[in-house]
Amino acid sequence: MVSLMGPPPPEFLRRSQKCRQFWDEQGNWKGSMPLTEQSLEIRERQFSGGDKELFLNFLRRIFRWLPEERPTAEDLAYDDFLMQPIISDA
């Protein structure tokens, strides 16, 4: 998840003592396994163009380090990516 989402914010690191096993104070990974270079853009191969951008934005809304920053299921149900087929049929 770190390679997809980037380093965790300081607030995330402060919430758990266990975080210190894996990250330093600046959020740099120090785990025993090296992180692979990847991103949502690289991993996503199903969509292209505008559909891909909508899907990536949808995933970025979901993949948040802090739970309070994650949208509710209802909010996600009205995301542009999911609403696109309905809007385009109108």
Q: Are residues 18 and 48 in the same domain?
A: no
Domain identity same for 7 and 28: yes
Do 4 and 39 touch, CB atoms closer than 8 A? yes
Same domain, 57 and 85: yes
* 1 contact partners, CB below 8 Å, separation of at least 6: 63
Write the pLDDT tens digit of every residue in 25-35.
Answer: 888 888 778 88
> Residue 23 phi/psi, 5° resolution?
-130, 150
Identify the segments of the chain with pLDDT beneath 50: none
Of 25, 16, 8, residue with least CA distance to 65: 8
- pLDDT at position 90 is 58
Q: pTM of the full predicted structure? A: 0.79
In this structure, the answer to whether residues 26 and 46 fall within a common structural domain is no
Q: Which two tokens stand for residue 71?
A: 């949208």
Domain that holds residue 76: 39-89
Same structural domain for residues 43 and 26?
Answer: no
Q: Which helix (H) or strand (E) holds 89?
A: helix 80-89
For residues 5 and 43, membership in a common domain is answered with: no
